[in-house]
């Protein structure tokens, strides 16, 4: 199960999992992007129109998994967005939109998938290296990423007798449509990409496929002794 599986990191994870033999469920808010993603992924995909911040939609997602497969082995909570707002300009609407999608959404997605998970199950919350950093104008975004870091620590303790693992995946700057969403023109988007690449010790943006490789590791038995951990795949940006 992959939330936000229609583009960027989520889509790359879905593609990689299918290549490895999985059947993936993806969901997102827009039918057109769902249709496009399902076409790109090809076989073994079920696309569901749903909003990760709405509990009634998550219930429908859970019902679809239950009626189609009856179980889920891996949950990837990836849905998110970046909206840079200085503290003085933060509104209640911005705060609620950010926390509903990226803090409330992951918790209730996992809650609703949990009854269908068994021993060997893997929960992966996609966070951001930003929860280690202090970057201006990201008060709410970074706070939600710190929240999901706390979730996996708590769940590692809570699930210790269940055989289910919970880990975090923290990307740095990755070349995805989120970059374009932060700009108003193609020129601004290009400048933003250049700025992030220059800021990153590896002097480039990450590729969605690189995060998909990390997610596959966390989903598989190759990471069987990891839980409550944070896998940081950020080109060194949070360390230098």
Cα–Cα distance, 122 to 221 (Å, whole number): 9
Q: Is residue 182 pLDDT above 90, yes or no?
A: no
The pLDDT score that the predictor gives to residue 59 is 98
189-216 average pLDDT score: 94
Across 222-237, average pLDDT: 97
Q: What is the pLDDT of residue 240?
A: 83
Computed over every residue of the chain, the mean pLDDT equals 95
Residue 189, token pair as written in the block: 């988007």
Q: What pLDDT band is residue 179 in, cutting at 50, 70 and 90?
A: confident
Q: Which residue do the tokens 């970059």 mark?
A: 179
Task: Decide if pLDDT at 28 tops 90.
Answer: yes
Rounded to an integer, the average pLDDT of 120-124 is 98
Q: Average of pLDDT values for 174-187?
A: 84
Enumerate the β-bridge partners of residue 138: 85
**Least confident range of 10-14, 91-95, 185-189:** 185-189
Whether residue 24 has pLDDT greater than 90: yes
Helix runs in the chain, H state only:
8-19, 31-41, 55-68, 92-99, 105-113, 139-158, 177-181, 186-199, 208-219
Q: What's the pLDDT at 149? A: 98
CB atoms within 10 A of CB 109: 27
- Beta bridge partners, 26, equal 2, 47
Q: How far apart are CA 172 and CA 48, in angstroms?
A: 28
Token pair, residue 81, equals 């967005």
Q: Tell me: the pLDDT tens digits for 150-173? A: 999 999 999 999 999 999 999 999
Question: Kindly report the CA angle at 143 between 138 and 148, in degrees rounded to 5?
Answer: 135
Q: Which of 141, 151, 196, 199 is catalytic?
A: 141
- Helix, coil or strand: residue 1: coil
Average pLDDT over residues 12-29: 97
pLDDT of amino acid 89? 98
The stretch 87-103 carries a mean pLDDT of 98
- Domains annotated for the chain, with CATH where assigned, are 2-233 (3.40.50.720)
pLDDT tens digit sequence for 31-51: 999 999 999 999 999 999 999
Residue 167 backbone phi and psi in degrees, to 5 = -140, 160
Q: How far is CA 1 from CA 18, 153, 200, 219, 222, in A?
A: 12, 21, 31, 11, 19
Could you give phi then psi for residue 83, rounded to 5 degrees?
-135, 105
Judge contact between 48 and 6, C-beta under 8 A. no
pLDDT of amino acid 177 = 82
Q: Tell me, what's the pLDDT at 58?
A: 98
Burial of 18 (0-12, 13-18, 19+ CB in 10 A): middle
- Asked if residue 181 has pLDDT above 80, the reply is no
The yes-or-no answer on residue 141 being catalytic is yes
pLDDT digits (tens, 9 = 90+) for 67-94: 999 999 999 999 999 899 999 999 999 9
């Amino acid at each position: 199960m992959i939330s936000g599986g229609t583009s960027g990191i989520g889509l790359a994870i879905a593609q990689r999992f299918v290549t490895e033999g999985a059947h993936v469920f993806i969901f997102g808010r827009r039918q057109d992007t769902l249709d496009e993603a399902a076409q790109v992924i090809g076989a073994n995909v079920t696309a569901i129109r749903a909003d990760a911040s709405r509990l009634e939609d998550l219930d429908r997602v859970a019902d679809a998994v239950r009626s189609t497969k009856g179980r889920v082995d891996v949950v990837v909570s990836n849905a998110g967005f970046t909206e840079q707002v200085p503290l003085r300009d933060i509104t209640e609407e911005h705060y609620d939109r950010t926390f509903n999608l990226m803090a409330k959404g992951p918790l209730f997605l996992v809650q609703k998938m949990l009854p269908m998970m068994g021993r060997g199950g893997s929960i992966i919350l996609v966070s951001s290296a930003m929860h280690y950093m202090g970057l201006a104008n990201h008060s709410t975004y970074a706070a939600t990423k710190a929240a999901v870091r706390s979730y996996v620590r708590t769940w590692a303790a809570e699930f210790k007798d269940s055989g289910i693992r919970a880990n975090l995946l923290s990307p740095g700057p990755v070349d995805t449509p989120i970059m374009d969403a932060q700009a108003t023109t193609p020129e601004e988007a290009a400048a933003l990409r250049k700025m992030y690449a220059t800021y990153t010790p590896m002097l480039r943006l990450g590729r969605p496929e690189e995060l998909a490789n990390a997610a596959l590791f966390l989903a598989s038995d190759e990471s069987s002794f990891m839980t409550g951990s944070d896998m940081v795949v950020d080109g060194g940006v949070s360390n230098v």
